Amino acid sequence: MKVHVQNLKTGDMLNQDVFSLSSRPIVGQGTELTRVHIEVLKAFNIREVDVKPSQVTTDPQQDQTESTTTTETPSLNDDFYPKYMNAVTQYKKMFSNWQAGSPVELFKVRQEIVPLLELAISKPKMILSLHHFSNEKDYVYHHAISVALISSFLAKKLSYSKGDIIQIGLAGALIDCGMSKVQPRILTKRDTLNKEEFEEIKQHPILGYKMLKGTPGIKEDVLLSILQHHEREDGSGYPIGTKGNNLRSFSRVVAIADVFHAMTSERYYRMKQSPFKVLEQMLMDQFGKFDPKILNVLVSELSNFSVGTKVELSNTQIGEIVFMDPQSHTRPMVKIEGGDIIALKQRNDLYIENILS
CB contact burial 213-246 (16+ within 10 A = b; e otherwise): eeeeebeeebbbbbbbbbbbbeeebbbeebbeee
Mean pLDDT of the chain: 84
Pick from 2-16, 32-46, 70-84, 314-328: least confident:
70-84
Determine the distance from the C-alpha atom of residue 249 to the mean position of all C-alpha atoms in its chain, rounded to a whole number.
19
What is the end-to-end Cα distance of the chain in Å, rounded?
Answer: 37
Residue 43 has pLDDT above 70, yes or no: no
Confidence at residue 58, expressed as pLDDT on a 0 to 100 scale? 39
The tens digit of pLDDT for each residue in 172-198 reads 999 999 999 999 999 988 888 899 999
What is the number of helices (H) and of strands (E) in the chain? 13, 7
**Is the C-alpha dihedral spanning 321, 327, 331, 334 positive or negative?**
negative
Burial class (CB within 10 angstroms; exposed 0-12, middle 13-18, buried 19+) of 54: exposed
Confidence at residue 75, expressed as pLDDT on a 0 to 100 scale? 45
Q: What is the pTM of this model?
A: 0.76
Confidence at residue 99, expressed as pLDDT on a 0 to 100 scale? 97
